[in-house]
Amino acid sequence: MSNQSQEYLTFLLDGEEFGVDILRVQEIMVWAPVTAIPGTPEYLRGVINLRGVIVPIVDMRQRFNRAPVEYTDTTVVIVLRTSESDSGVVVGIVVDAVSEVYKVDPVNIKKAPDFGNQIDSRFIFGMATVDDKIIILLDAKKLLNVNDLYSVVSHVRPKIGEPIAS
Amino acid sequence: MSIDLKQFHQAFFDESYEGLDSMEQSLLALSDEDETDPELINTIFRAAHSIKGGSATLGFGEIASFTHVLETLLDEVREGQRKLTAESIDLLLQSCDALRAMVHCLEQETPIDVNDSKPLLDAFEAMLNDSGQSAVSEPQQKEVQKNLDDSDATVISSAQDAITQTFFSGDDGEQNDDHGEKRWKIVFKPEPQILLTGNEPLRIFRELESMGDLEVHAHTDQVPNFDQITLDECFIHWTLFLTSNVDQDEIKSAFDWVLDECDLDITLSESGDDDTVDTDDNVNTETRLQQDHINLDNRGDEITAEDDYGESASDDLEFVRASASVVAAKVIPEKTTAKKPEPSAAKSTSAKAISESKAIADKKVTAPESAQSSTTSIRVGIDKVDNLINLVGELVITQSMLSELGNNFDLEKLERLSHGLEQLKQNTRELQENVMRIRMLPISFAFNRFPRMIRDLSNKTGKKVDLIMSGEQTELDKTVMEQIGDPLVHLVRNAIDHGLEMPEERRAAGKNETGKIHLNAEHKGGNIVIKISDDGRGMDPEKIRAKAVEKGVIDAEAELSVAEIYDLIFEPGFSTAAEVSDLSGRGVGMDVVRRNIKALGGRIEIDSEVGRGTKIYVHLPLTLAILDGQLVRVGREVYIIPLVAIVESLQIKSELVNRVSGNMVLYRLREDNVPIIPIHKEFNIQADNTALDNALLVVVEGEGCKIGLLVDDLLAQQQVVIKSLETNYKRVDGISGATILGDGSVALILDIPGIITNASRSRRRNVSPRAA
């Protein structure tokens, strides 16, 4: 096995499997009620208290313009953290369920095609095929960037509540 | 292996600042007294001495040599050979400033501008030379003096300097002044057991260094293999070169303690003697520094040749010398102020030195780059720390008791459990209080600068000022303290500049010639109130009003209370006011003062009486980390309103509600009309109650106006720890932060001034289309 290969934690979102660099994952926790922040976009569910740290929680379905669903038992929050230091930015993302941890060799990562309006392509880092499944790899650095995560580029109009045929 | 001295730098800086502060205070105390208190002199001397010691150890030659001169002078005062005159106290005060600037330069890792200290050094020299019994014989004294006389271009009179000077005089012939200095070669071969008798060669070298310029070469060829090394034996011997005008006996005296335990050979070495002694790479720092000098020496010619800056060669050399000592002192690591690196300079250190010298020659060394703000440290009284340790001990005991209890728990132990939990709660609270107290410093930290400032200002303006300070022990959060300093300085300066009258004027008004400035700090209802009062001429509300009308800050018809008029001087537009005899300048920068104080969550008030003086009150929160909050509920959400902002809470009586122009709703509160802002509308959330009748209204104040916030319920009042939303998210309108409630959930803290400005903006937006 090559030293270059990275491990990715994958999660399910609206029937698709996404992956993030496992080194950016601080922890996984069950969904707990949040405190809403007024005047913020719908996909920012609010903030939680994670052992004294105020962590914003982003619903990835809404962020990626998928139809929101009722949260179930499998709904989890993946807490991501920038690696730089302890004072790094922390954010929690709400996903349908966590799936697996895969080792992916960089040579197997393909450039992603244009996803059009459904997913903000800024966050896509590439695609990989593992066990005949296609995994969309997300760029954790972008997800953790306040300017990227909380700004919706103009051509991606949030159409919340509108089911997306996939 | 050399120890990385850098790790001690921050401690040295802190200590130096502290030493300089105490020096300054003692000097001021001295100037107030007629009798010279020996203890004060000792304090000053000690401060100067420890700065000198520290800087010499760490290789900050500029500071060491400067403090050395200072110390010589102080020593004479201490010995009673010299009286401290007002003039010399002034000089010493100025030298405090100069030293502070030097330390600051070091901290910012920028080259020290030696030109600042030169006139001071000159003055000290003159003073030392004036008196017959002065210690001119002191070798370095002469050296300093010589250096100063020789060159106008620079002024570094450090120990390392002279070495370069000798080098260059050989190279270049321009510096051929005879310094009366001899170059001693000292071969020092200690016996292996020298360390056992408690002797430390390094200390001897340091003593030698104080006599002149020292070059140390260590010979490590006798060091055995690692497995044969014994820790307490010395296998190294040294060859030292001392450039100084001391005689052999003096050098020998440095070795007094070890004479019978070493081979010592002190000879006069000819100038131009072979400088390069075989040295190991494994030498101590000092040696390595010296090597840098040698490198520099070798580059000497090239520097002169490539001098394309129009400076005279000697100037340039002076600069190189200046920077040589800087490099030797390792003050400027990795940083390159270089505009043009010299290609010929291969060795990085000398390259740095050269580029530094160019930079200096270019006179492009301007203000120190900010940023680089190193982590600040805080000095905490040992009693506070002991307290903490006690509390943590208690906490550990409680914890073990609880876990013991949990191991085999049955219902009978319920009472003990609740007792234990109670104890835990107590411990936690005490711990919290004590930890918070660590951040608290007595306000004297901010006040201490005023005696000096007032002295200077009173000299400058010719006004006689008496400063009274009280409540200096009042404690204030360190962050608040750091940010309140400048506004306070501004206010005090204003009070002297514009508040107090000249002595004649005061006499004519029947007042004491000496004006009084009173600084007072005290706790008042969870706040700190700092009062700055003067007994000067006071401010005339009518004049301020007229000025404000003229400036267009207010309408001519506007009806203002006296307090509101005084508030005008904080208006930005007012600060540019042209001179009006008795309030000229009052208000210059006052808007900045108010902004700074507001940013800290405080406020400022003025009370003045014409002819009697002005009182300025600055109200500050005790700390920025914790605030007293009122918990309110709106629908399912809990918000926190800072208690300081709340005027009152009341139940709405429908007959007092007035609807004006569309959706503006005003509530008549005595003589005020307060706009009602329903939080649920503002934040677009669900509320239990949207009708105004009998609803709860929290009247809050900020930005000079009041609004009423409509809430569903008033919950507890409690202290909350402020957490920033910006750490992981970003600023949110109307929210100043978040906190964690007892049940672990997050509650948002309302930003009252933000909500008020927001509301008035939207009100204007609503009105304008109607007007159009």
Count, in order, helices (H) and strands (E) of chain B: 23, 22
pLDDT score recorded for residue B551: 75
**Predicted pLDDT of residue B355:** 43
User: Model confidence at B270, in pLDDT bands (50, 70, 90)?
Assistant: low
Q: Rounded to an integer, what distance in angstroms lies between the CA atom of residue B267 and that of residue B256?
A: 17
Closest residue by Cα to residue B697 from B681, B717, B716, B675: B675
pLDDT, residue B763, reads 66
A94, A59 in Cβ contact below 8 A? yes
Highest-pLDDT range among B89-103, B161-175, B349-363: B89-103
Q: Do B727 and A35 touch (CB under 8 A)?
A: no
* Cα angle B142, B145, B150; round to 5: 120
Q: Look at B745 and A35 and tell me if their CB atoms are within 8 Å.
A: yes
| DSSP assignment of B58-127 | HT-HHHHHHHHHHHHHHHHHHTTSSPPPHHHHHHHHHHHHHHHHHHHHHHHT----GGGTHHHHHHHHHH
Asked if pLDDT for residue B691 goes beyond 50, the answer is yes
Q: B615 forms bridges with which residues in the sheet?
A: B533, B607
Neighbours of B340 (CB within 10 A): 13
DSSP string, A13-57: ETTEEEEEEGGGEEEEEE----B--TTS-TTEEEEEEETTEEEEE
Average pLDDT for chain B: 72
Nearest to A69 by CA among A165, A160, A166: A160
Q: Which percentage of chain B shows pLDDT scores above 70?
A: 73
Q: What per-residue confidence (pLDDT) applies to B526?
A: 63
Most confident stretch, A71-80, B332-341, B347-356, B454-463? A71-80
> How would residue B361 be classed by pLDDT, with cut points 50, 70 and 90?
very low
Specify the CATH superfamily of domain A6-149: CheA-289, Domain 4 (2.40.50.180)
Q: Count of alpha carbons within 13 Å of B561, Cβ hemisphere only?
A: 4
Query: Going by C-beta distance under 8 Å and a sequence separation of 6 or more, which residues neighbour residue B234?
Result: B190, B191, B192, B193, B194, B195, B201
Q: Read off the pLDDT of residues A97-156 as tens digits, 9 standing for 90 and up.
A: 998 898 888 888 888 776 665 566 778 888 888 888 888 888 887 777 766 677 655 433
Q: How far apart are CA B267 and CA B255, in angstroms?
A: 15
Give residue B758's pLDDT.
79
What does the pLDDT average to over A22-46? 87
CA-based nearest distance A91→chain B, Å: 7
Q: Which of A36, A49, A90 is nearest residue B740 as measured by Cβ atoms? A: A49
- pLDDT at res. B172: 39
- pLDDT at residue B360 above 70? no
The residue whose two tokens read 């304008």 is: B768
In the prediction, which pLDDT does A103 show? 87
Residue of A nearest to B741 (CA): A49
Q: Which of B679, B746, B751 to mutate to test the interface with A (most CBs of A within 10 A)?
A: B746
Range from B60-64, B384-388, B698-702 carrying the lowest mean pLDDT: B60-64
Surface-to-core class of residue B244, CB atoms within 10 Å of its CB (0-12 exposed, 13-18 middle, 19+ buried): buried
Candidate from A33, A39, A56 with C-beta closest to B729: A56
Does any CB of chain B come closer than 8 Å to the CB of residue A50?
no
Q: Answer yes or no: are the C-beta atoms of A155 and B735 closer than 8 Å.
A: no
User: What are the residue ranges spanned by the domains of chain A?
Assistant: 6-149
Q: Using the beta-carbon criterion (under 8 Å), do A37 and B729 form an inter-chain contact?
A: yes
Name chain B contacts of A40, Cβ cutoff 8 Å.
732
* Whole-number Å distance between alpha carbons of B358 and B351: 10
- Give me the pLDDT at residue B323, please: 45
Contacts for B246-251: CB closer than 8 Å, 24+ residues apart = B246/B139, B246/B211, B246/B212, B248/B184, B250/B211, B251/B184, B251/B186, B251/B208, B251/B211
Least confident of A61-70, B26-35, B133-142, B520-529: B133-142
Residue B666's Cα: distance from chain center in Å? 49
What is the complex's ipTM, to 2 decimals?
Answer: 0.76
Single-letter code of the amino acid located at B462: G
**Adjacency order of strands within the sheet including B603-609:** B465-470, B515-524, B527-534, B613-621, B603-609
A50 CA to chain B: closest CA distance, Å?
9
What is the model's pLDDT at position A85?
53
* Residue corresponding to tokens 């070169």: B241
Q: Provide the pLDDT for residue A87.
A: 56
Long-range contacts of A144-147 (CB under 8 A, 24+ apart): A144/A24, A144/A80, A144/A81, A144/A82, A144/A88, A144/A89, A144/A91, A145/A89, A146/A89, A146/B729, A146/B730
Taking contacts as CB-CB distances below 8 angstroms, the residues of chain A near B725 are 37, 47, 54
The pLDDT of residue B632 is 92
- Contact between A19 and A138 under an 8 Å Cβ cutoff? The reply is yes
Distance from CA of B742 to the nearest CA of A (A): 11
Per-residue model confidence as pLDDT tens digits over A2-32: 456 788 999 998 888 999 988 888 899 988 8
Structure tokens that stand for B334 in this block: 């990795």
Q: Within 10 A of B166 (CB to CB), how many other CB atoms are there?
A: 21
| B746 contacts in chain A (CB < 8 Å) | 34-35, 46-49, 54
Q: How far apart are alpha carbons B742 and B476 in whole angstroms?
A: 27
d(C-alpha B239, C-alpha B218), whole Å: 6
d(CA B517, CA B538): 13
Distance CA B143, CA B242 (A): 14
Q: Which residues pair with B553 in a beta bridge?
A: none
For residue B723, the chain A residues in CB contact (below 8 A) are 52-54
How distant, in Å, are the alpha carbons of B310, B341, B359, B360, B369 from that of B366? 20, 19, 10, 9, 8
C-beta separation of B164 from B172 below 8 A: no
Structure tokens that stand for B347 in this block: 């060795």
The pLDDT score that the predictor gives to residue A5 is: 75
Question: What is the reported pLDDT for B522?
Answer: 86
Burial of A87-98, coded b for 16+ CB within 10 Å and e otherwise, reads eebbbbbbbbee
Interchain proximity A54–B727, CB inside 8 Å:
yes
Element (H, E) at A81: strand A76-81
Alpha carbon of A1: minimum distance to chain B alpha carbons (Å): 37
Mean pLDDT value of segment B76-90: 78
Residue A57 at interface with chain B, using a CB cutoff of 8 Å: no
pLDDT at residue number B35: 67
Residue predicted with more confidence, B84 or B666? B666
Query: What Rg value do the Cα atoms of chain A yield, rounded?
Result: 15
Confidence of residue B2 (pLDDT cuts 50, 70, 90): low
List the single range of A69-83, B292-306, B688-702 with lowest mean pLDDT: B292-306
Please count the residue pairs, one from chain A and one from chain B, whose beta carbons lie less than 8 angstroms apart: 66
Q: Which residues in chain A are closer than 8 Å to B637, comparing Cβ atoms?
A: 35-36
| pLDDT top residue among B554 and B617 | B617
Burial (Cβ within 10 Å: 0-12, 13-18, ≥19) of residue B228: exposed
pLDDT digits (tens, 9 = 90+) for B29-67: 777 766 667 788 888 888 888 888 888 888 787 888 888
Q: How far is residue A96 from each of residues A43, A46, B583, measured CA to CA in Å? A: 14, 18, 68
Hey, is the C-beta of B746 within 8 angstroms of any chain A C-beta?
A: yes
First-last CA distance in chain B: 81
pLDDT at position B677 over 90: no
Chain A residue with minimum CA distance to B637:
A35
- Å from A90 to nearest chain B CA? 6
* Strand, helix or coil for residue B752: helix
Mean pLDDT along residues B80-87 = 76
